[in-house]
Chain A
Amino acid sequence: GDSVTQMEGPVTLSEEAFLTINCTYTATGYPSLFWYVQYPGEGLQLLLKATKADDKGSNKGFEATYRKETTSFHLEKGSVQVSDSAVYFCALSDRVQGAQKLVFGQGTRLTINP
């Protein structure tokens, strides 16, 4: 079945550092790809998404590019802030009719120190 593998955490960085969180996927079809974020004490929020190969999703300074050839969707940010501390989840959704259930990675906890 479909699966998502994320970079093991936790990840700890200093403020203004460059961030990369790796994500690779296995899917039989042509999935859409997502990054969700879970801030402390809050629910999952969509951070960004890409629906086809070579699409770039971006939001709040974060970016990820859908790479079909490497089956990857790595999350990047050029300069992280303390407020970016959260758990980040990579996910995919099959592009078929009916249930568009999300398949999530295990999550990567990010801590940014001032």
Chain B
Amino acid sequence: DTGVSQDPRHKITKRGQNVTFRCDPISEHNRLYWYRQTLGQGPEFLTYFQNEAQLEKSRLLSDRFSAERPKGSFSTLEIQRTEQGDSAMYLCASQARGRGRPDTQYFGPGTRLTVL
């Protein structure tokens, strides 16, 4: 257990529905990342928060995706009008603020999304 929790662990939805995932990072970690992992592949970066500010978004993050981190604590990732291609494991990672050198990113267990 890394101390990062994600909810739900599994989500099955029908195409066209909206889904929302939650990530609770390690307390006092001010950096939070979302990644997506499809079957047989490594995780791919989606977006990054420093405190409550979303500072970077991947081109993978279409306009159907939105992420928030109110008050710089937990984060949510919403997918609107889901498509079958959205089926994947969505991973959250938290990181303490470093001084230039990369500190370890601690990953949650992930939310597995299946779009029927």
Report which A residues bind B (CB closer than 8 A).
Answer: 4, 32, 36, 42-46, 49, 51, 89, 91, 93, 95, 97-107
User: How big is chain B's contact interface, by range?
Assistant: 20 to 34
Interface residues of B in 63-116 (CB under 8 A from A): 91, 93, 95, 98, 100-110
Within the complex, which residue of B93, B104, B106 is in contact with A49, where a contact is CB–CB below 8 Å? B104
Within the complex, which residue of B4, B55, B101 is in contact with A51, where a contact is CB–CB below 8 Å? B101
Is residue B33 within 8 Å, beta carbon to beta carbon, of the partner chain? Answer: yes
Q: Quick one: closest A residue to B35, CB to CB? A: A102
Within the complex, which residue of B40, B91, B101 is in contact with A44, where a contact is CB–CB below 8 Å? B91
Q: Cα distance A48–B50 when bound, in Å?
A: 24
A91 touches B42 (CB 8 A): yes
B105 touches A102 (CB 8 A): yes
**Set of chain A residues within 8 Å of B4, measured between Cβ atoms:** 43
Most buried by A among B44, B45, B98, B107: B107
Rounded to whole Å, the gap between the CB of A19 and the closest CB of chain B is 19
- Also in contact, A46 and B109, with CB within 8 A (given A101-B45, A107-B40): no
A95 touches B100 (CB 8 A): yes
Within the complex, which residue of A32, A49, A93, A107 is in contact with B41, where a contact is CB–CB below 8 Å? A107
**Set of chain B residues within 8 Å of A89, measured between Cβ atoms:** 42-43
